[in-house]
Amino acid sequence: MTQTKAVLLDIEGTTSSIAFVAEVLFPYAARHLASYIEAHCEEVAPILAEVPGDDKVATLLAWIAEDRKATPLKTLQGLIWAQGYADGTLQGHVYPDTPEALHRWYTAGVSIYIYSSGSIAAQKLIFGHSIAGDLTPMLSGYFDTTTGPKREAESYAKITAAMGCEAKEILFVSDMQPEVDAARAAGLGALLIDRAGGPADIHSLSEVRL
Ligand SMILES: CSCCC(=O)C(=O)COP(=O)(O)O
Ligand SMILES: [Mg+2]
């Protein structure tokens, strides 16, 4: 049997609750979007250039409302959330089994990576300012949609190459079946997680057996 050398984790619905993202993070970004863009117009100009339409704020608000996984939106959200984490308004949600599992794998010498639609900056924030403290020292690396969409096998092939191990040595965990299917198509091991207890491979990270 192949030894798992690395675990690759989704965030929303896997390490952290969907409600935190949908009911805390997204509304925070929507509330601060217009003022952030106004205050940082030069910095955000290249990001806004990738957003279609004349009314960029309206387009971005519509994307937030429909949970569009568009890279420019995700980049902006990460910048906006940084303010909230810095002033203590935001604290990253993680399920209790998340820090436990990270610690178990980390001490066993298994590398832990994140692959989320949230930007790499946003990933570092949610784990760096989590309700369980700073979890980033246990993380080996981060991937976001700049590597590719999470539902395409090619993205997992790129991640495998970047990690420098064989695909079968990586275990991906996600709450989205199309993401699990894409990872499996690229040769990774993959588990579907359902935090609500529905049909899935596992219901918490404590159930992962390497
Ligand atoms: C990095 S925390 C914010 C998560 C986010 O914006 C998102 O879209 C979550 O997508 P995931 O791929 O982690 O399900
Ligand atoms: Mg998810």
What pLDDT does residue 2 have? Answer: 86
Give yes or no for a contact between 173 and 210, defined as CB atoms under 8 angstroms apart: no
pLDDT digits (tens, 9 = 90+) for 84-98: 999 999 999 999 999
Q: Which atom of ligand 1 is nearest to the CA of 174?
A: 14
Q: How far is the CA of 1 from the centre of ligand 1 (A)?
A: 32
ipTM of the complex: 0.97
Closest C-alpha to ligand 1, atom 4: 118
Give yes or no for a contact between 10 and 173, defined as CB atoms under 8 angstroms apart: yes
Q: Would the pLDDT of 201 be above 90?
A: yes
Domain residues of the chain, as ranges? 6-16+92-207, 19-86
CA distances from 160 to 133, 146, 164, 170 (A): 29, 15, 6, 8
Q: Would the pLDDT of 195 be above 80?
A: yes
Q: Which atom of ligand 1 is nearest to the CA of 176?
A: 14
Q: Which atom of ligand 1 is nearest to the CA of 175?
A: 14
Quick one: pLDDT band at residue 63, thresholds 50, 70, 90? very high
Q: Which atom of ligand 1 is nearest to the CA of 179?
A: 12
pLDDT digits (tens, 9 = 90+) for 15-32: 999 999 999 999 999 999
Query: Ligand 1 pocket by C-beta < 6 Å: which residues?
Result: 10-13, 21, 25, 69, 74, 77, 116-118, 122-123, 126, 150
Q: How far is the CA of 85 from the centre of ligand 1 (A)?
A: 16
What pLDDT does residue 115 have? Answer: 98
Domain 6-16+92-207 homologous superfamily, CATH: HAD superfamily/HAD-like (3.40.50.1000)
Would you call 10 helix, strand, or coil by DSSP? coil
Q: For residue 137, give the nearest of 100, 102, 188 by alpha carbon.
A: 102
- Average pLDDT value for the chain: 98
Q: How far is the CA of 41 from the centre of ligand 2 (A)?
A: 31
Pocket perturbation via mutation, ligand 1, pick of 12, 142, 195 by most ligand atoms within 8 A of CB: 12
Tell me which fold the domain 19-86 belongs to. 1.10.720
Quick one: pLDDT band at residue 1, thresholds 50, 70, 90? confident
Ligand nearest to the CA of 178: 2
Distance between CA 133 and CA 191 in Å, rounded?
26
Closest C-alpha to ligand 1, atom 3: 118
Would you call 197 helix, strand, or coil by DSSP? coil
